[in-house]
A = this chain, B = another copy of it.
Amino acid sequence: MNKARSGSLLIIGGSEDRTGSRDILQRLVALAGGSERKFVVLTAASGRPEQVFGQYASAFRAMGVHDLTHVRTSTPEQAQDADLARLVRAADGILMTGGDQQRLCELLGGSAIERAMHDAFESGRACVAGTSAGASALSAQMVIGPASMDEGSAAGLGKGLGFVSGVIIDQHFSQRNRLGRLLGLLGQHPSLMGAGIDENTALIVQPGVGIEVIGQGTVSVVDCRRAVSNVSDIAPGAPAELLGIQLHVLPAGSAFQMEVHEPGSSMLSRQARPAPRQVQDFVSTMMQRSRAA
């Protein structure tokens, strides 16, 4: 893998601290190269874009960021706007806010803005971040449907933006008790892995290097690839029997790299260690990009 080929991803489980120590947003600034760089906030997921942008504008200002633009794309036409796309392509830090991930992907999927995000990421410069709905949309396989655990089996997969592939990213994971929903999806799509990210917690992915967890909660990695399930024998919506699920719980400080790196090439914590056998497949999956087809 060529480390110079891609930027980094910051996948945030929602409700990140915006007014206190802002640890996760501070890391976004650092991954983008510092507070002097160019930042854009995409509010396509939100039904209240000005209000949401206002919160981030205050937070970024407090962190010393001056070059911050609101990329407001409330219509498909705006998502094709060449001037906005130029801004996104030139950005060092790109943050997709929360809201409704279906709305986000309907507006941005296949748009000039989406192409600009991929260009910025693939240039090796930009950190692309998403929180809550914006986190789920980062993968090619995106969870959609009811948020409640009791309706887990009715959740489905939609097409996300494809900064990663082979993984379903869920957010507000412990707080909204979403393991059941994620297991329902993985039972139906056992080739995928699941990453459930808690609130005020984030997974950093540096392609070619590794992954790291930061923040308050944990990232739950769910792997049903070797599980035995009766999902094809039961009525739709009935809870499935799932035997042999692998679960890994990663708190802040879990940092895994895939190989030894030259000094300075890694943006991960100094504590990053070679990925243990149990999580090597997950780390590899997260580091393997695929543009949404």
Contact = CB atoms under 8 A, between A and B. Distances in A.
How many identical chains are in the complex? 2
A115 B288 CA distance: 60
B279 A243 contact: yes
A5 interface: no
B239 A217 contact: yes
Interface residues on A, range: 20 to 34
Interface in A239-271: 239-254
A210 to B, nearest CB: 15
Given A149-B174, A217-B239, A239-B217, A278 B244 contact: yes
Given A244-B248, A245-B246, A251-B238, A276 B174 contact: no
Given A174-B180, A177-B177, A249-B183, A241 B228 contact: no
Given A174-B149, A228-B278, A241 B245 contact: no
A179 interface: yes
A252 B238 CA distance: 10
Contacts of A6: none
B245 A248 contact: yes
Interface string A188-217: 000000000000000000000000000001
Contact of A251 (B218, B239, B247): B239
Contacts of A218: 180, 239
A276 B238 contact: no
Contacts of A183: 249
Given A174-B177, A179-B179, A183-B249, A243 B278 contact: yes
A276 B246 contact: no
A192 B276 CA distance: 23
Interface string A167-186: 00000001001011001000
Q: Which residue of A179, A243, A244, A252 has the most chain B CB atoms within 10 A of its CB atom?
A: A243
Interface of A: 149, 174, 177, 179-180, 183, 217-218, 228, 238-254, 276, 278-279
25 contacts: A149-B174, A177-B177, A179-B179, A183-B249, A218-B239, A228-B276, A238-B251, A239-B249, A239-B251, A239-B252, A240-B249, A240-B251, A241-B250, A241-B254, A242-B249, A243-B248, A243-B249, A243-B278, A243-B279, A244-B246, A244-B248, A245-B246, A245-B248, A245-B249, A246-B247
Given A174-B177, A241-B253, A247-B247, 5 more contacts: A238-B251, A239-B251, A243-B278, A245-B248, A245-B249
